C-alpha cells in the first residue's frame, strides 16, 4: 500500500513526508513512537494558556531563505529575537559573551582595555570560539579567555555533557562563541521567528494531506524486523523506501554496541506572578543542577496572570527510561556510529536522516534543509 515508510514525525520525517505526499502524490506511512507529532519541537498550551515547548526551548533562526519560505507555507510567524543572560558572579549578563558583557563584569578601565585588545586582534562583529581565544599569546587576552572559560563554559559543559569542553568536539562550544560586538542577541541570523500558533500547529498543517497516514504510539522495531538483510513490516516483506530518523543503533539491534546520547529532564513550574525573569532564558553555568531556566511568555507572548518556567536537568540517555536529545560528540562515539553507517550500506532502501539517525547536532533550519534535499532526490 505504501512505497514509503517514514520513521519519526519530527522535522526530518515530516518535511520528507510532506514533499513526497504533495509533490509526488505518494502514499506515505509515518510511524512515530510518541503520542504526538513534531518530534522534540512539540509544543502545547499549558494550564496558564501559555505555549510551552515540551522538550525545551526551540528558537527558529536561519539565513536560509529557501527553508524559511518553505516553512512559511505552513505557519504565520512572529518575529522573535532570542536573548540569553548568564548568571555569573551574582549578575545576569548578556550571553554570548560580548563587549557589553565585559562592561557588566569588569571595572570600566579593565573592560576598556580588554575591548581594545580584542578589537586590535579581531574585526568588529565577528565571532571567536572560546577554545580559540584560550590560545591567545597576549597575557590579558589569555586571562580574559580563562575567565570566560571558567565562568561560562567549564561547569555548564560538565552539567550538559558530563565532560570538559576539550573532551567534546570543539564545534559544540563554538556554537556560543565570544561575540566581538554589542549585539546582545543569541543569534545573528536574518530570520529569527517563532510560529505564531506554535510548532505543533505548523506540523499539523504540514502533515494535513490525505496521502499521509500516521501511526502514533508505535515503536518501529515493534512492527518491523530485519532478517537476512530483508526488512519485514507487520510480517510482510517491505521493498519500498524507509526514511529512518530514529537512533540508528536501535534500528540495527545494537550490534556494534549502544551509541551514547544525552537526555534532559524537563521540569515545568507555574509561578504565581506575571513575569519571572528579564529574558526568555537565563543560563546558570555555575549554580544549581539545572543548566538554564526558560520563561515561555517571552517567546510566545500571551496575557496571563501567571507565568510558566522550565528548568533543564541534563542526564545520560537510558534506553526505555528517557528520550535521547543530543548525540555525544566524541571521537569514540563517531567511530562507533561509522560502523552503523557502513552496515547500513547493505540496505540501500533505508535512508538515515536527522539528529539521531545521522548522529549530528542539526539545528531546525539545517534539518529542514537536509530533509528538502533528501526529498528532492526522491522526486
Ligand atoms: N555552553 C556553555 N555555557 C553556556 C552556554 C553554552 O558552556 O552558558 C556550551 C555547552 O557545552 C553547550 C554548548 O555550548 O552544550 C552549546 O550551547 P547551545 O546553547 O547551543 O545548546 P542547545 O541550546 O543546543 O542545548
**Residue nearest (by alpha carbon) to ligand 1 atom 9:** 173
Per-residue pLDDT of 104-123, as tens digits, reads: 999 999 999 999 999 999 99
Closest ligand 1 atom number to CA of residue 155: 7
Question: How far apart (Å, rounded) are the C-alpha atoms in residues 83 and 184?
Answer: 7
| pLDDT given for residue 15 in this prediction | 98
Convert the pLDDT of each residue in 91-106 to its tens digit: 999 999 999 999 999 9
- Top CATH class of 4-37+207-258+328-378 equals alpha beta
pLDDT exceeds 90 at position 157: yes
Instruction: Give the whole-number percent of the chain exceeding pLDDT 90.
Output: 99
| Higher pLDDT among residues 1 and 328, named by residue | 328
Ligand 1 atom nearest to CA at 168: 11
- Enumerate residues lining ligand 1, CB below 6 A: 86, 95, 152-153, 156-157, 160, 172-173, 175-176, 283, 285
Nearest CA to ligand 1 atom 19: 176
Q: Convert the pLDDT of each residue in 37-86 to its tens digit.
A: 999 999 999 999 999 999 999 999 999 999 999 999 999 999 999 999 99
| Predicted pLDDT at 211 | 97
pTM of the model: 0.97
Confirm if 152 and 285 have CB atoms less than 8 A apart. Answer: yes
**Res. 27 pLDDT band, cuts 50 70 90:** very high
Tens-place pLDDT, residues 322-334: 999 999 999 999 9
Atom of ligand 1 nearest to the CA of 361: 24
pLDDT in the model for residue 102: 98
Residue 173 Cα to ligand 1 midpoint, Å, equals 6
Q: What's the gap in Å between 175 CA and the centre of ligand 1?
A: 7
Q: Stretch 291-310: mean pLDDT, rounded?
A: 97
Nearest CA to ligand 1 atom 3: 153
Q: How far is the CA of 187 from the centre of ligand 1 (A)?
A: 13
Across residues 192-221, what is the average pLDDT? 98
pLDDT classification of 1: cutoffs 50, 70, 90: confident
Closest residue by CA, ligand 1 atom 20: 175
Residues 148 and 97 sit within 8 Å (Cβ to Cβ): yes
Compute, in angstroms, the gap from residue 153 CA to the centroid of ligand 1: 8
Which residue's CA is the closest to the ligand 1 atom numbered 11? 157
* 295 Cα–ligand 1 center, Å: 17
Atom of ligand 1 nearest to the CA of 153: 7
Protein residue with least CA distance to atom 2, ligand 1: 153
Q: Whose CA is nearest to atom 23 of ligand 1?
A: 57
* Domain regions of the chain by residue span: 4-37+207-258+328-378, 97-180
For residue 134, how far is its CA from the centre of ligand 1 (angstroms)?
17
Q: Which atom of ligand 1 is nearest to the CA of 154?
A: 7
Q: What is the pLDDT of residues 224-282, one digit of tens each?
A: 999 888 999 999 999 999 999 999 999 999 999 999 999 999 999 999 999 999 999 99
In angstroms, what is the span from residue 176 Cα to ligand 1's centroid?
Answer: 6
CA 81 / ligand 1 centre spacing (Å): 18
| Distance between Cα 356 and ligand 1 center (Å) | 18
Query: What is residue 232's predicted lDDT score, i.e. its pLDDT?
Result: 95
Mean pLDDT of 21-29: 97
Amino acid at each position: 500500500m505504501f512505497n514509503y515508510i517514514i520513521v519519526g514525525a519530527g522535522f526530518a520525517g515530516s518535511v520528507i513526508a510532506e514533499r513526497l505526499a504533495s509533490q509526488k502524490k505518494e502514499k506515505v506511512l509515518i510511524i512515530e513512537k510518541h503520542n504526538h507529532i513534531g518530534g522534540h519541537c512539540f509544543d502545547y498550551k499549558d494550564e496558564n494558556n501559555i505555549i510551552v515547548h515540551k522538550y525545551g526551548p526551540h528558537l527558529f533562526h536561519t539565513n536560509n531563505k529557501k527553508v524559511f519560505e518553505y516553512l512559511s507555507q505552513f505557519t504565520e510567524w512572529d518575529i522573535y529575537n532570542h536573548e540569553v543572560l548568564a548568571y555569573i558572579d551574582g549578575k545576569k549578563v548578556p550571553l554570548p559573551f560580548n563587549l557589553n558583557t565585559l562592561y557588566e563584569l569588569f571595572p570600566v578601565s579593565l573592560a576598556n582595555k580588554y575591548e581594545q585588545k580584542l578589537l586590535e586582534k579581531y574585526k568588529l562583529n565577528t565571532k571567536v570560539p572560546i577554545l580559540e581565544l584560550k590560545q591567545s599569546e597576549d597575557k590579558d587576552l589569555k586571562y580574559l579567555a580563562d575567565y570566560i572559560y571558567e565562568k561560562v563554559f567549564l561547569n555548564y559543559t560538565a552539567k550538559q555533557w558530563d565532560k570538559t569542553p576539550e573532551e567534546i568536539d570543539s564545534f559544540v562550544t563554538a556554537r556560543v562563541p565570544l561575540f566581538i560586538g554589542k549585539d546582545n542577541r543569541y543569534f545573528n541570523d536574518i530570520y529569527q521567528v517563532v510560529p505564531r500558533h506554535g510548532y505543533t500547529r505548523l506540523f499539523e498543517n504540514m502533515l494535513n494531506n490525505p496521502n499521509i497516514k500516521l501511526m502514533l504510539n508505535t515503536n518501529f522495531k515493534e512492527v518491523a524486523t530485519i532478517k537476512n538483510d530483508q526488512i519485514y513490516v507487520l510480517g510482510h516483506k517491505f521493498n519500498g523506501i524507509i526514511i529512518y530518523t530514529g537512533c540508528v543503533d536501535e534500528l540495527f539491534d545494537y550490534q556494534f554496541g549502544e551509541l551514547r546520547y544525552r537526555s534532559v529532564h524537563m521540569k515545568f513550574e507555574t509561578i504565581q506572578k506575571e513575569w519571572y525573569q528579564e529574558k526568555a532564558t537565563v543560563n546558570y553555568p555555575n549554580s544549581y543542577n539545572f543548566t538554564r531556566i526558560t520563561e515561555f511568555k517571552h517567546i510566545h507572548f500571551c496575557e496571563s496572570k501567571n507565568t510558566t518556567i522550565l528548568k533543564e536537568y541534563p542526564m545520560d540517555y537510558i534506553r526505555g527510561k528517557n528520550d535521547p536529545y543530543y548525540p555525544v560528540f566524541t571521537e569514540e562515539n563517531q567511530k562507533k556510529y561509522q560502523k552503523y553507517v557502513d552496515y547500513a550500506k547493505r540496505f540501500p532502501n533505508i535512508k538515515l536522516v536527522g539528529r539521531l539517525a545521522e548522529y549530528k547536532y542539526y539545528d531546525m533550519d539545517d534539518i529542514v534543509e537536509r530533509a528538502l534535499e533528501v526529498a528532492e532526490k526522491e522526486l
